[in-house]
Amino acid sequence: MYSKLCFERLVENYSCKFSKNNQQYPSIVLVYGVYLNSKRSAMNTSQNYFWDNFRPLKTSVLCGVVWGISLGIVIFFPSLHAVLALGWILLAFESLTSFKLARYCAFAGKIGMMCAIFSYGGDFLKHHYASFTSVSGHTLHWTSYGIYFAMILGSLSGFILAKRTSMTSLPQLMALFHGLVGLGAASISVVLAKIHIQTLCVIPLSVFIEILSGGVIGAITCTGSVFAVLRLQNIIRYRPSLKIFLGMFFLALGASLASAGWFIQVPSIVSLIVSIVVSSSLGVLMILPVAGADMPLVISLLNSCSGWACVSLGLYANHPLLVVVGSIVWFSGGVLTFVMCKGMNRSLMRVFTGSFYQQSQAKATVMLPVQSISGEEAAFFLKSAERVVIIPGYGAAVAQAQRPLQELALLLKANHCDVKYGIHPVAGRMPGHMDILLAQANVSLEDMLELEEANRQLPDTDVVLIIGANDTVNPAAEKDPSVEIYGMPIFQTYRAKKVLFIKRSMNPGYSGIDNPLCYLQNTYMVFGDGKKVCEDILKAFSLL
């Protein structure tokens, strides 16, 4: 067992941070820290201790009051729904500019969407009340009850789906939500076209273009998002050759243009539905040639496409809320796509033709030797290190290894070791995915290094601990033009003094490319589940 001095130093630096969290940690270090922190709390005044116990209650009551006031305003004063919805949505975006306020972003966004949706319920309530008080005695149509049922069903479905979705499946969930937005836009365009055709004899060409644009863009977003979910789940792995893809693409493009011309020349619901269905094939063809490492870029672009669909329908319906919110989604998704393309050294043309750049090459049948060590030997390397950089990846999220990994980092810091986390822009297959995962383990923002800053420190790093990452540390991205991840910025871990690589097996990463880093002289493989290996290292470290 390590010395009491390490205990005291660890507690003084980190016990307050962990005592505010309700999670239970298996390490005896943290139990000891909570004990000493309770002694420190007992020295405070009884008044402060009393109010500290009621802080969660005050927060819950405040949230309930905000929800109730907002819901009451939009139900009984539906004309204010646009102001409230836009205000809360803009507040949600503004909270993302501060790390301390970012946790309130989802809360503000939910209130904004609630104000946008439930205002229509307030309208129906007013009409329903008027029908009972009127002389004629009209009753509310059954479709109004259907709208109430749809609102409740959608709210419950979204809540259950989000609760049951794991952290590693967030990209698929985001893509699925984009698909639902596209499906809604396509459905609304059909309904608006039916209303317009039945009520007006002469329809301007601009109206047809707005309706058609909303339906086509929505259909492409829907099918592209669903296909992206299937690709991320590895359900569909087929990638056509360039000749087959070009044939399918030009056939679908010609059919889409022909069906769009048919709708403009002969306006009808049938021609519009045919145009939407035919154009939806372009969404599948948009995702089909995309390489696995570029899927986060496509999800961001689909987000922008869903905003385009909302803007198109908002212009037709003269609805300011659809126009403004759609513009925010469209512009933010476009900017995020541009930033990610720049960060990954990609162009959109390269993203959508990524698999065609990969040259056919024979698979290596001879397995190169690797240096495999146990968790106890890895703990010995970490014990003697003065600077450690931890690089988590998708495998760390799958294994839920963030908490034992943070415990290991705390022990290293107590051992006078400088510990940092290297975060790749697309680690975990989604921008910010790994930041959220580490935030669950109370990793400080100051301990997270971006790619460029981490690469500057790697030559002076004693040990690089890689857990679950493969493509983001693959030197082939810098040296082999034939691989699909060529040109993608990576962590230059081969420049460090020692590399500890935690993996389940020697299987390649998500892109299916072998990693030459595993065969270097300064790389030591630690095979096993990421969480179990970290716990084994923790136990061995405490005995050194």
Q: Kindly list the catalytic residues.
A: 471
| Cα distance between residue 186 and residue 319, in whole Å | 17
Which single residue is written with the structure tokens 């792995």?
A: 237
At residue 322, φ and ψ (nearest 5 deg) are -65, -40
The phi-psi region of residue 420 (left if phi > 0; otherwise alpha if psi is between -120 and 50; otherwise beta) is: beta
Q: For residues 348 and 340, what is the distance between their CA atoms, to the nearest angstrom? A: 10
Q: What is the layout of strands, in order, in the sheet containing 523-527?
A: 448-449, 418-422, 387-392, 463-467, 498-503, 523-527
Strand pairing class (498-503; 448-449)? unpaired
Q: Quick one: which of 431, 413, 420 has its CA closest to 541?
A: 413
Listing DSSP states for 288-318 in one string gives TT--GGGHHHHHHHHHHHHHHHHHHHHHHHT
Distance (Å, whole) CA 287 – CA 192: 29
Phi, psi of 448 (to 5 degrees): -100, 130
In angstroms, the CA 9 to CA 414 distance is 6
Cite the DSSP H helix spans in 235-386.
242-265, 269-279, 281-287, 295-317, 320-343, 348-351, 354-357, 375-383
Taking the CB of residue 287, how many other CB atoms lie within 10 A of it? 23
Half-sphere exposure of residue 43, counting CA atoms within 13 Å on the CB side?
A: 4
3-state secondary structure of 348: helix
